[in-house]
Amino acid sequence: MSSTTPAMVPVLDFSNQNLKPGSPKWDLVKSQVREALEEYGCFEALFDLILELRKADFGALQEAFDLPLQTKKLCVSDKPFRGYLNPSSGPFQSLAMDDAHIAENFEQCLTNTLWPQGNISFSKTLASFTQLASELQKKILKNDFGEFWT
């Protein structure tokens, strides 16, 4: 009889504000990213600033997805897989847009459409999250891992 231990996806910490290319900490994280991609093909990125916003983010998103279906359907886009999506099968719903990290785009595309009278709390909460997520993405992409993306 054999027992198996489930594989754990590596958790890499990108929270350090001094994480800059060329620093010893950067080199350590860079090697951890390479190892994680070679071994697992993925990793979980830890970024404390995003974790601090998590509860507020989920509350804001719940508020948006609790709106009536007809209101959510007002979020449309010419591009595939953008705007409000609710496939006929299953509980999946999505609100997607390009350049969500730019507050003006976010407000124009989502907030002003879903709440014509405005919803400053929703805008600020999710704009903060998308800006931090964009910052994390830039940190990760500064790693020189072109061979993994091609």
pLDDT block averages, 10 residues each, the chain of length 150: 73 86 86 91 89 88 91 88 79 83 78 88 87 86 61
The verdict on 24 and 71 lying in the same domain is no
Q: Give me the pLDDT at residue 140, please.
A: 82
Say whether both 84 and 117 belong to one domain: yes
Please enumerate, as own/partner, the contacts of 25-32 that have beta carbons within 8 Å and a separation of 24 or more.
29/143, 30/143, 30/144
pLDDT of residue 50: 86
**What pLDDT is recorded for position 146?**
54
Decide: 133 and 101 in contact? Cβ < 8 Å.
Answer: yes
Is 150 contained in some domain? no
User: 31 lies in a domain?
Assistant: yes
Asked if residues 35 and 10 have their Cβ atoms less than 8 Å apart, the reply is yes
Q: Is residue 142 part of a domain?
A: no
Range of the domain at 57: 53-137
Same domain membership, residue 128 and residue 59:
yes
Number of domains the chain is built from: 2
Same-domain status, 33 and 64 = no
Assigned domain for 33 exists: yes
Q: Which long-range contacts (CB under 8 A, 24 or more apart) does 106-110 make?
A: 106/130, 109/75, 110/64, 110/75
Task: Write down the pTM of the prediction.
Answer: 0.71
Asked if the structure places residue 144 within a domain, the reply is: no
Q: Which residues, in sequence order, are CB contacts of 128 under 8 Å at separation 6+?
A: 53
49-62 as b/e: b if 16+ CB within 10 A: bbeebeeebeebbe
Q: Are residues 62 and 131 in the same domain?
A: yes
